[in-house]
Structure 1
Amino acid sequence: MKSSFFMGIAIALAAYLIGFLSNNYNVTLKITGFVVIVSFFIAGILNGTFISGDRYRANFMNETKEDRDKKMKMVNYLLLLSIPNAIISLVIIIYRN
């Protein structure tokens, strides 16, 4: 769990450094925004957010506890990866305006 959070911090800092060195924070927003949107989208798919209740119940009944645990662990990794990137994006958007 810690490794995905630190990987998110590394991606966010690298994106910030690229934006700082090129004096173009739009690049930073594109990189961090892409990471956040893709992570949320994949986490939503794995979590079952985009399907109906009947479909979710059918999937829940047909999968094992180990599969659910594995899936939720991946969702947690993706969300922890996206948190530092979302913070950097919000900070840049706030200070830019």
Structure 2
Amino acid sequence: MIVALITGDWSLLYKITGIVGAVCLGIAGLLSGSFVSGDQFARNYNSDRFNRISNVSKILMIGAPNIITAITVLYLR
């Protein structure tokens, strides 16, 4: 938001927050194991489940507000 205020270009706001949100969602998907097959996920399910869920929730807490901000600014401009 500060960059958009300084430059006067409000399209930067939704571009930057959208990219940050998309990257966070991608990282959360990778860490959660949603891009692996069922056999691979089943083998590693109990070994580090708590750590994986904790990391994914932290990343989603960063990504979700960025996505919401990007969508809101995109529709309000």
TM-score (structure 2 length as normaliser): 0.85
> Which aligned segments of 4 or more residues in structure 1 are displaced greater than 2 angstroms?
none
Q: 1:21-63, CA deviations, whole angstroms, 9 ceiling, x for partnerless residues?
A: 21112221222112111111111011111112122112225x2
Identity %: 31
Cα contact 2:24–2:62 (8 A) shared by 1: yes
* Aligned-residue offset at 1:73: 0.6
Q: Is 2:19 the partner of 1:38?
A: no
More helix as a share of residues: 1
5+ long unaligned stretches in structure 1: 1-15
Aligned partner of 2:49 in structure 1 is 68
- Looking at structure 1, the residues matched to 44 and 54 of structure 2 have their Cα atoms a distance apart, in angstroms, of 17
What do you get for the CA RMSD once the two structures are aligned? 1.4
1:70 match: secondary structure? helix
- Looking at structure 2, the residues matched to 37 and 83 of structure 1 have their Cα atoms a distance apart, in angstroms, of 9
- Looking at structure 2, the residues matched to 51 and 26 of structure 1 have their Cα atoms a distance apart, in angstroms, of 35
5+ long unaligned stretches in structure 2: none
Aligned partner of 1:28 in structure 2 is 13
1:58 corresponds, among 30, 43, 55, to: 43
Q: Is 2:63 the partner of 1:82?
A: yes
* Aligned-residue offset at 1:18: 1.5
Cα contact 2:22–2:67 (8 A) shared by 1: no
Paired residues, what number? 77
- Looking at structure 2, the residues matched to 55 and 72 of structure 1 have their Cα atoms a distance apart, in angstroms, of 17
